[in-house]
Amino acid sequence: MSLSTAISRLESLARLSDHPGHLIRSFLSPSSRQAADLLLSWIRDLGLQTSHAPDGTLRGILPGSNPSAPPLLLGSHYDTVIDAGKYDGPLGILSALAALESLAQQNITLPFPVHVLAFSDEEGTRFQTTYLGSRSILAQLDEKTLAATDANGITLASALASEGWHHNASLIHYPPHSTRGYVELHIEQGRVLEQLNQPASTVSAIAGQTRLAITLAGHADHAGTTPMPLRRDALTGAAECILSAESLARSHPPAVITVGKIAVHPGASNSIPQRADFTIDLRHPEDNERHALTTELQERFLSITDQRNLTLDWNLVQESPATPCDPTLTSHLLNSLQAITGHHTSLVSGAGHDGVALAPAMPIAMLFIRCRDGLSHHPDEYASPEDIDTGIQILTHFLKSFTP
Ligand code: HGY
Ligand code: MN
Ligand code: MN
């Protein structure tokens, strides 16, 4: 596949959305199915043996000269956030296919199988629970995750049962330590490579994440007849909590805390809000710091809600540990990075990736590609054709020289 083919395929995928006005592909949605069919056709065109799991995980197998050897896994995710860019996820899948096509054009057969995986839900846009695809290939969709509900109250379990792609589906499963590892190419989603004026880097570790669902409840009342001192306003309480979360993160760098979603009930302009529901996304590269900040945040919220005579409902939706990348697998990738770019840079990832879910069962390594202004989870997300080409060359070099 030439670079121009990879670029035009990114554009084709970016046109498949659940919403006419912006890019969003969520778990098992119609546009996800269209994207899956397109990806499977491209994987098939490369001569790989394709399959899909009911949860939307796709796989292409290139057997190599020793089909029974432990496989190397490549890939990324093809779901998106809301109003997404076109590179976060699909670039990793298409770069893997481009690297394999480059090897085929050089008549190179690898001495081990390569499995290209496309995960159907890394972002958690529908159920707020991340890494559904990568956790499913390890058979780790636990009861709590299966009970997660979407905005319509549908549980993941019932969505899988009623909307899953069961026709011609097969089990895609990897027992622990049954592979050579997982390597993912991804845009950096940060500004460091731009500041260093370098096209790519490896990743040393992925920051830990804590995702919370918070509900503050007070008392609905008339906006015109209720004096300020008598109010139990859930939204102003939430506002104080949110600003407190921001000041906590600002005072503890490199911690980051984000409130990405908020809903107010009853939502009438002349009614005092009875209830405010919002999300917390808290990240830090050190788990003990992340846990300490989470405790501090809960104490701050309890104090605010006590003072305001509100109730606090604090729910841990999901947490992922800070995840180091495998030093040996990463050193192979670093050698290829150096061979192609002359650089030897490794960065910590503030963004989460499927490797977090896979790390307990296999070595993981990641290759970052520079993205303009570090922008991501935004329609203006952009990686240059030159940097994408460099990424594909590094991946190709890595596959050729990877003799584990
Ligand atoms: O939220 C993240 O870090 C990733 O984009 N899923
Ligand atoms: Mn993302
Ligand atoms: Mn991603």
In angstroms, the Cα distances linking 18 to 166, 337, 376 are 21, 37, 19
Question: Separation of 125 CA from ligand 3 center, angstroms?
Answer: 12
CA atoms of 101 and 78, how far apart (whole Å): 20
Name the residue with the closest Cα to ligand 1, atom 6: 123
Are residues 175 and 247 in contact, defined by beta-carbon separation less than 8 angstroms?
Answer: no
Question: Separation of 220 CA from ligand 2 center, angstroms?
Answer: 37
DSSP letter for 230, please: G
Q: What topology does CATH give the domain 3-206+322-401?
A: Aminopeptidase (3.40.630)
Tokens found for residue 377 = 């989870």
Q: What is the C-alpha radius of gyration for the chain, rounded to an integer number of angstroms?
A: 22
Domain residue limits, the chain: 3-206+322-401, 208-320
Per-residue model confidence (pLDDT) at position 4: 87
CA atoms of 284 and 252, how far apart (whole Å): 10
For residue 124, the ligand 1 atom closest to its alpha carbon is 6
Ligand nearest to the CA of 85: 2
CA atoms of 116 and 64, how far apart (whole Å): 13
Per-residue model confidence (pLDDT) at position 105: 95
CA atoms of 78 and 58, how far apart (whole Å): 10
The residue whose two tokens read 């905005």 is: 151
CA atoms of 155 and 149, how far apart (whole Å): 4
Are residues 141 and 135 in contact, defined by beta-carbon separation less than 8 angstroms?
Answer: yes
Tell me if domain 3-206+322-401 and domain 208-320 are identical in fold: no
Question: Separation of 352 CA from ligand 3 center, angstroms?
Answer: 7
Per-residue model confidence (pLDDT) at position 306: 98
Q: Say whether pLDDT at 2 is over 90.
A: no
pTM for the full predicted model: 0.91
Q: Could you give the count of Cα atoms lying within 13 Å of 98 in the half-sphere of its Cβ?
A: 24
Q: Say whether pLDDT at 312 is over 90.
A: yes
Per-residue model confidence (pLDDT) at position 404: 59
> Of the residues 76, 123, 209, 381, which should be mutated to test ligand 1's pocket, given the most ligand atoms within 8 Å of the CB?
123
Question: Separation of 306 CA from ligand 2 center, angstroms?
Answer: 36
Q: Say whether pLDDT at 1 is over 70.
A: no
CA 317 from centroid of its chain's CA atoms: 15
Lining residues, ligand 1, CB within 6 Å: 122-123, 130, 351-352
∠ at Cα 161 (155, 163), nearest 5°? 85
Q: Evaluate the omega torsion of the peptide bond into residue 404 and state whether it is cis, within 30 degrees of 0.
A: no
What is the band of 156 on the pLDDT scale with cuts at 50, 70, 90?
A: very high
Q: What topology does CATH give the domain 208-320?
A: Alpha-Beta Plaits (3.30.70)
Per-residue model confidence (pLDDT) at position 8: 95
Q: Say whether pLDDT at 109 is over 70.
A: yes
Q: What is the DSSP string of 148-191?
A: -B-TTS-BHHHHHHHHS--TT-------TT-SSEEEEEEE--SS
**pLDDT tens, position by position, 363-389:** 999 999 999 999 999 999 999 999 999
| pLDDT, average across residues 343-371 | 97
